[in-house]
Structure 1
Amino acid sequence: MAKRERGRRALQDEVSRRVQQIDEIGEDGAKIRTPMPEPHPRDARGRNWDMKGFGRATGYEAGIRAVVDKVRDEFDLSDAVENRAPNPFGD
């Protein structure tokens, strides 16, 4: 099955939404800062991006990594013009 493509901001939002739904994070009322996805060459599993450096994530690393890996399996990072955030200063 082909992966759906998403831009950096859309992937950041999707991971953030799913991370906040992790039971222990929700129960603790923790607010995790989600970084932007970083592109990389396709790996052996066909993934072309990753995320590292979550803020306020101590103790939740395993759950967060599971979420990120699941989203990486579902979506490719695309830099297509239609997936870019608008540039407020023009292009």
Structure 2
Amino acid sequence: MLRKTRTASQLQDEVRRRIERAPEVVEDGVKIRVPRPQMQEPDASGCNWTMKNFGNAIGFDRTVDEALKAVQKEYNLSEDTKDLNSLFGDPKG
């Protein structure tokens, strides 16, 4: 299956959304901090990103892992970069 490409913010939001919808997270009312995705060399499945150090996730390891793996299966991190010197990502020139 070919993965769709998303920005770091979009991937972070999608993982957060899936975690926050998990019944055990809703039931406990916990807020889990979702880190920014980090680019990596593609793994055996072809995924080019990962996330580490989720905050306030003790006891929710399985939930976090399932959400992360599901999003990694569907999406890759966009390799497009904007001009980091421009606040709005305007093209150079």
Scaled by the length of structure 2, the TM-score of the pair is 0.86
Report what 2:34 is aligned to.
Answer: 34
Please state whether the residue corresponding to 2:5 is helix, strand or coil: strand
Q: CA RMSD in A?
A: 2.2
Distance (whole Å) between structure 2 residues aligned to residue 90 and residue 36 of structure 1: 18
Aligned residues: 89
Q: Could you list the runs of 4 or more consecutive aligned residues of structure 1 that deviate by over 6 angstroms after TM superposition?
A: none
Please state whether the residue corresponding to 1:67 is helix, strand or coil: helix
Letter in 1 for 2:58: T
1:58 has 2:58 as partner: yes
Stretches of structure 1 that go unaligned for 5 or more consecutive residues are: none
- Which has more radius of gyration? 2
Distance 1:71 1:89, change over 3 A: closer
Structure 1 vs Structure 2: percent identity of aligned residues?
A: 41
Deviations 1:37-64 (A, max 9, x none): 0110011111110111111000001111
